[in-house]
Chain A
């Protein structure tokens, strides 16, 4: 079973990201579960969302405590106890963090708290989307990285899911740019 925790602030897309990953997996004939973990909704407050993907039916409904990957959408959350808890899980999860800093700098911050043994993948999401005229959601390059390092869903499948969900709302041009950003991130450009 693949388990993922996404940390973000309300409004940054942590919940939607989780739902889209799970939906892609389900459309690809896997079993999946995605659920948010938050109190009363407030923009800007820290939230978590969880994803599980498996080839067998998922019956557990507990929060994810031993993720394989941890995504942090907002660097300001890095010292948050919930984030540190996710990262110090016994599975030594990979960290994908939206940050303009280097992975070394991130590791330095984490070592103030504990000895982090997982791999750190830094994605400068804002820079990645800045070059496009349209409004690309900053989670897009994060997803590209996630798919690259885990292959838990396929790039094509995700593109299909994204298109089906957002084509009407965002228009063809936006979608094209989004899918390009996704690919760039996937291929490490």
Chain B
């Protein structure tokens, strides 16, 4: 943690006790996309919109669009390849 970051961090008096996280969904603030350069690519020809990859993603980073296109949110995709493993059509490749 560089000194730039520590200027944004709070004093022990200003944080909730016991390391409590008081608002749900704050994991959105943690952009895990920076953890990996590798992102999945989806082969539209093989994809059947089964949504198994959506479920498998631990960061809920895969979107199944209304236009029947599968895409990934690069802010949160950490390149774990769970979606690649989950796809029954082998329609996903990690690059």
Touching chains A and B, CB distance < 8 Å: no
Tell me the B residues contacting A by CB distance below 8 Å: none
Tell me the A residues contacting B by CB distance below 8 Å: none
